[in-house]
Amino acid sequence: MAPLEETQLADLAARLRSAEDDRAPIGPLTEENAELTVADAYRIQQINVHRRKEEGGLVRGRKVGLTSLAMQQQLGVDEPDFGAIFADMIVEEGDPIPVSELIQPRIEAEIAFVMETDLQGPGVSSADALRAVAGALPALEIIDSRVADWKIKLPDTIADNASSARVVCGGRLTPIADLDLRTIGMVLSVDGAVAATGAGAAVLGNPIRCVAWLANKLGEFGVPLRAGDLVLAGALHAAVGVAAGTSVQAEFAELGSVTTRFGA
- Which pLDDT band holds residue 231 (cuts at 50, 70, 90)? very high
CATH code of the domain covering residue 177 = 3.90.850.10
Count CB neighbours of 246 within 10 A.
18
- Which pLDDT band holds residue 1 (cuts at 50, 70, 90)? low
Q: Note the pLDDT of residue 71.
A: 78
Does 109 reside within a domain?
Answer: yes
Half-sphere exposure of 164 (CA within 13 A, CB side): 33
Q: Calculate Rg over the CA atoms of the chain.
A: 17
Q: What is the mean pLDDT of the chain?
A: 96
Does 257 reside within a domain?
Answer: yes
Is the pLDDT confidence value at 3 over 90?
A: no
Does 52 reside within a domain?
Answer: no
Q: Note the pLDDT of residue 264.
A: 94
Residue 133 CA to its chain's centroid (Å): 18
User: How far is it, in rounded angstroms, from Cα 207 to Cα 213?
Assistant: 10
Does 82 reside within a domain?
Answer: yes
Q: What percent of the chain has pLDDT over 90?
A: 92
Does 118 reside within a domain?
Answer: yes
**Residue 209 belongs to domain spanning:** 59-263
What are the Cα distances from residue 179, in Å, to 56, 115, 169?
Answer: 38, 17, 19
Domain count, the chain: 1
DSSP-derived secondary structure letter, 100: G
Residue 189 φ then ψ, to 5°: -115, 135
Contact between 102 and 142 under an 8 Å Cβ cutoff? The reply is yes
Residue (of 118, 87, 106) closest to 211 by Cα position: 118
Mean pLDDT lowest among 75-84, 116-125, 169-178: 75-84
User: 232 has which bridge partners?
Assistant: 63, 112
Q: Which amino acid is at 113?
A: F
Is the pLDDT confidence value at 2 over 70?
A: no
Instruction: Quote the pTM value.
Output: 0.96
Does 141 reside within a domain?
Answer: yes
User: How far is it, in rounded angstroms, from Cα 104 to Cα 106?
Assistant: 7
Q: Note the pLDDT of residue 74.
A: 74
User: How far is it, in rounded angstroms, from Cα 118 to Cα 233?
Assistant: 17
For residue range 26-35, list pLDDT tens digits in order: 999 999 999 9
Residues with Cβ < 8 Å from 85, sequence gap 6 or more?
A: 59, 60, 61, 62, 63, 164, 167, 230, 232
Does 10 reside within a domain?
Answer: no
For 34, the 3-state DSSP assignment is coil
Element (H, E) at 251: strand 247-252
Does 231 reside within a domain?
Answer: yes
